[in-house]
Structure 1
């Protein structure tokens, strides 16, 4: 395997395609730098290959929409003044929020970057609340939020709930290979 040493850290840069080919062949090859190590090196190096699903993978988009829909429904049940009419309206709101997060959020984040830096990232919560407020405006009477403060509070709750679901339920696929 062709391995290069990253100058900024002690991580090695490994060709992903070569790792996959070696996994499919069933043999893990050692590099020349690892063959030259003496007996004083007790630890056996590992290659950790993590397959992260891209944002335009259909499976990933479907899972994220379902999770977002369920989180919106839970938020609707948890907060007074946060109203979603039905499951289909929650799914439509999840789609609208996904589109807003892809198109509008990067623009708003760049425009408010100085304020976000001055508040040590806390203004980012206001940006998320604003996007929820915009989704409320776009969805009409099927999705209602009573106040902007509630939109900010709900955005924090939604973020924490999605983070918990992604961390504890939808774990990443990773593979460790002893070389």
Structure 2
């Protein structure tokens, strides 16, 4: 089992990469990135499960594709709760959520070894 600290570090690494990859995502300072990683962890822990349950019928109808929309919404919510962090649109959040998931999976595999 991966510790919450390892998950936080994986999120932080992913956020640094997202900031470099997407021009429509901006963090004022490195401290803002750290705060965003914490906020994202909290939103993933408390709000994402509620959204997943509420969107279950749509997720089933779309064969799981709607879960990408839920991930983008979670990312948008985390940006709203983090001062000095900016994301331009839902479209950016959608693609950033996909990239974030891929990077997080790769980084978590490294931590498992």
Larger radius of gyration: 1
- Distance in 1 between residues matched to 2:111 and 2:16, nearest whole Å: 19
Q: CA RMSD in A?
A: 1.1
Aligned to 1:8: none
| Bigger relative contact order, structure 1 or 2 (CA pairs below 8 A, ≥6 apart) | 2
**Bigger helix fraction:** 2
**Poorly superposed stretches of 4+, deviation over 3 Å:** none
Which ranges in structure 1 are unaligned for 5 or more consecutive residues?
Answer: 1-51, 54-59, 173-179
Q: Where does residue 89 of structure 2 map in the other structure?
A: 147
CA distance in structure 2 between the partners assigned to 1:117 and 1:84 by the alignment:
35
**Does residue 88 of the first structure (1) align with residue 38 of the second (2)?**
no
Q: State TM-score, norm by structure 2.
A: 0.94
Question: Are the equivalent residues in 2 in contact too, given 1:97–1:132 (CA < 8 A)?
Answer: yes
Gaps of 5+ in 2: none
Displacement after TM superposition at 1:74 (Å): 0.8
Q: TM-score, normalised by structure 1?
A: 0.61
Is residue 113 from structure 1 mapped to residue 56 from structure 2 by the alignment?
A: yes
Q: Across the two proteins, how many residue pairs are aligned to each other?
A: 113
The offset of 1:171, in angstroms, is: 2.2
Higher strand share: 1
